[in-house]
Amino acid sequence: MRSPAANFDIRAALGAEIKAANAALVTAAHDPHALHQCRVRLKRARALARVSAVCAPGLTSVFLGAARDAMRALSKARDLAALAQAAERLSLQHRGAAKTALGAVAAALERERAAAPAPDTAAARASLRDLGALIQVWPDVSERQIDKGARLVKRRALRAYRQGYAARDPEHRHTWRKREKDRLYAVEILGAAWPKACKRRRKSSARLSEVLGRERDVLLLRARLAADPGLAGDFNAAARAMRALEHRQAKLAKRANRLGARLHRNET
């Protein structure tokens, strides 16, 4: 009997992700949720492409670059929307002066997002066309190559975890988050073709990616507020917001470290 991996069609899966990205791009210029979904689909496609890098390294490199170009065209608008949403969510988790200060930050970021130029959807669509053309020449990927590629994605996440665990450098944490996302997306798309898939581990991976994402948002908010205290209203409000952000980031980092240690236990 053929294994599930032997029947997995990476070319078709890549095409489905790019088709979904194109569909989301239709309304991305004025819909932050669609903008986010477009970028998520591109990230999922990148994760899947990495799995097949073992049989098409050059093609994969070009594909990753084109996907990165598409995401870059949409990044500024998406980043502002994500920060405004994160500040609003955090304001709801506090009381008193900290709540007011964080609410002011959220409102200021939302005004900035609304006034910013529309995302460059034309450039993003051109990159998506390039991606579609690359998929047409994507080679067949064997069961053994899928297994090897999946294990490479897994090892990349493990290396990033070891470097990012308890790290103070935000970029190490960010790299860890990206590699965990690659792993999670690859597991979700490959399904039974992922080697030794484990439903409980997949859920743990999803929880870790979520916590690392929230930590990243807080770190970016701290950086923005440090550069522009006026977002909170005045110096005192900025100091209150900064203390709340520092406290929240420490809690999220501790939780992410704990989840990461559990997820990667016994991995080599």
Does residue 141 come out as left (phi exceeding 0), alpha (psi in the -120 to 50 range) or beta? Answer: beta
In this prediction, residues 154-172 reach a mean pLDDT of: 94
pLDDT of residue 12: 96
In this prediction, residues 181-188 reach a mean pLDDT of: 95
In this prediction, residues 245-255 reach a mean pLDDT of: 96
Residue 198 pLDDT > 80: no
In this prediction, residues 170-199 reach a mean pLDDT of: 89
How much of the chain, in percent, has pLDDT values that exceed 70? 96
In this prediction, residues 182-208 reach a mean pLDDT of: 85
Average pLDDT over the chain reads 92
Q: How many residues make up the chain in this entry?
A: 268
- Between the alpha carbon of residue 202 and those of residues 146, 188, 240, the distances in Å are 18, 8, 37
For residue 27, what is the domain's CATH number?
1.40.20.10
Residue 200 pLDDT > 70: no
pLDDT digits over 5-56, tens only? 557 999 999 999 999 999 999 999 889 999 999 999 999 999 999 999 988 9
Total number of domains in the chain: 1
Enter the pTM of the model.
0.91
Q: Is the dihedral of CA 192, 196, 201, 207 positive or negative?
A: negative
Q: Does 207 reside within a domain?
A: yes
Encoded amino acid at 118, one letter: A
pLDDT digits over 105-121, tens only? 999 999 999 998 989 99
> Structural domain of residue 9, as residue ranges?
4-263
SS3 category, 232: helix
Q: Does 268 reside within a domain?
A: no
d(CA 113, CA 222): 18
Q: Does 44 reside within a domain?
A: yes
Q: Does 66 reside within a domain?
A: yes
pLDDT of residue 7: 76
pLDDT of residue 66: 96
d(CA 85, CA 79): 10
